[in-house]
Structure 1
Amino acid sequence: MAVSVLTLLTLAACGTESGSGSGSGDGSGTVRSTPPVTGVRWGVDSVTVGGKRSAAPAGAHVEIGTKGRASGSYGCNRFTAEVRIDGDALTVEPGTTTEMGCEKDIQRFETLMSRAFSGRLTAAATDKKLTLTTAKGDTIALTSQPPAPLTGTDWRITTLLSGSSVSSLPAGTEKAARIAFGKDGTVHGTLGCNSFRGKAAVNGSAVTFGPLVTTRKMCPDPEMRLERALRQVLDGKRTTYRIDRRTLSLTAQGGKGLGASAAE
């Protein structure tokens, strides 16, 4: 898949640089240059099926490997798939996906995305945009995304971690929790119900949280369950963090943790 898309990008007009004897053939005396494709996280903007466009949820993305393998997220569940290359076309083979329960609207998008990102596709790229088109004319629109830094990023909490297990947030709280780290060593956000602020000392891949100051509202059970789970990770704990492009994971010493995506 990477080879196929890289070939297409090489043919696309993505920039210019001076050259001699190898111009573009249009009399401009320029040589085409292209952005890298492999190792880039492509954020999914939308899927258009039957002429109807559906915007992608935060976190939906595709990453293209160098050996004909694609992986990513439909918006809630993650997937992997093998890809066969045939010139400028690619064929996405049936792959694997996680099976977490998702919010109704996200589940609907995941169904559309999984059906579109399968079988024989053609690819077209311009600058930082990529479009994949099915044989029926349905399309997936994508944009390359730079890595997100820990500080200065609005992180939307998307999953709960317990050891090697990953679970979705309680139903109805999928957009309720966020966390942001300041360059001045502060942290703030929402726990699902109450907002919070405090200190967060970053040292290498570790973050040590000071006591959190929170509001004291009482909320419905799903929000309170989420809040209790997040406090096990953040309240006065030393955690380790890892960023994979635009995905953050925080894991406390006892194995409890959270996963988050950079808000778009």
Structure 2
Amino acid sequence: MRTIRRTTRGRLAAGTLAAVAAVALAGCGTETAGAGGDGGGGGGAAANDSGGGSSGSDGATGGGGGDGDGGSSDEETVASVRWVPQTITVDGEETPRPAWADRAFLTIEPGRAEGGGGNSGGHTGCNYHGADVTVDGDRLRVSDHVSTMMACPGRPADFERNLLDVFLSDPTFEVSEDGRTLTLTNTDTGDSMTLQRDDSAAREVVGARWVAQSVTANGEEKRWPAEVDDGHVTIAEDGTMEGGSGCNSFNGEVRVEGTRFHDVEFMVTEMGCPDPAMEFEGHFQAVLASEPTFELSEDGRTLTLTDIETGENMVLTRDEAEPAT
């Protein structure tokens, strides 16, 4: 058997706002870059070219603090987490997230993507959006923003507009000591947004058997061949995982947290199989070993794993017939 693990851990983005933009197109409609208006919940998506500073590495749980024993860097406290907006404060008036915006979320994956939009972004309650984000001390530098431009009847545009105004302002950020609350602040206006950490998607990934349906490499999507053994992975609550990658079986460990697989390491048997089994196995193992981000569909049945360095991804579906034990 041979051991596979990720050998580089830099968060270099790689043109994969497919994780947001592709879902947006499938679930919403047209993706558009450019300035948004105020009418009927249209998604304001003005490009923000504020650049991007160097990634910050100091600080514990607050914005721009000093080092501390056992503390995490600023980037680590905010990155690869699904953050759900709770309140937005504009001109001193705090407004809670309206009930219709229950789909709203924000995810930060620092780095710059090759195409329009980036690896960061989420949903405003009406539209999907994406951007490049770099962490500069206690500030998020946001650029290359794109958004779908859906009109959402009956949903006032104020919440979406205010959310994007804060996000696109290159806001400062502060994460609470318990890591559960994120506050973004527009330093020009004093407007702010509070968000809470949401780990529900990670809990849904664990304990299920996921079966590969397709892989995408170099921009080309390939369906998993019927003649190749199922590519599948099951992750237990204790972090152990096992599965098959098309030819060989594997077992190992992973930590599923926020919106990412962390600390992936697994051992693989060394059987030889004819193509296309080995081709698809290579894609499967490469994505899994990359410590990918993950996107779970609203119905919880489809899981998309994305290597944010290469843009390669893999789509898996929940195996309802064989629940994990």
TM-score normalised by structure 1 residue count: 0.46
Higher relative contact order (CA 8 A, sep 6+): 2
- Based on CA coordinates, which of the two structures has the bigger radius of gyration? 1
Larger strand share, 1 or 2: 1
